[in-house]
Amino acid sequence: MAGVNALSKVNEFENIAAELAIEKKYDYVICGHIHQPQKKIVETKNGKVTYLNSGDWVEHLTALEYQQNEWTIFEYDEKDFPVTQTIEMKPSVNVITDEINFYINSLAAI
């Protein structure tokens, strides 16, 4: 029953946050890391507010995006990001390091 109790606490938190935002005449209440991405309108007798939750990047791979005056929930999908070709680079010689090592070795020989 712990899961049910946790869900109840999350719902209670969302409602309290929304009610406070409505009371303050805010248009949005934005939360994150409650793990359940969400975008909903909460309406009470005192008004309404848009409740947004970014979810999380670990379990749901979600984030909030604001584009063209609109909030959306971004959901990462691997197929939307094609794999890029990796180019192997040859290591370059670090002249300064080589000169310092030469100097140290020269001092050690004295």
Query: H helices within 1-110, ranges in order?
Result: 2-23, 95-109
Would the pTM of this model clear 0.95, i.e. be above it? Answer: no
Task: Provide the pLDDT confidence category of residue 53 given band limits of 50, 70 and 90.
Answer: very high
Give per-residue pLDDT as tens, 22-40: 999 999 999 987 778 999 9
Task: Indicate if the pLDDT at residue 98 is higher than 80.
Answer: no
Question: Please, is 73 exposed, middle or buried when counting C-beta atoms within 10 Å of its C-beta (0-12, 13-18, 19+)?
Answer: middle
Q: Is residue 77 a contact partner of residue 91, using CB atoms and an 8 Å limit?
A: no
pLDDT value for 2: 60
12: pLDDT strictly greater than 70: yes
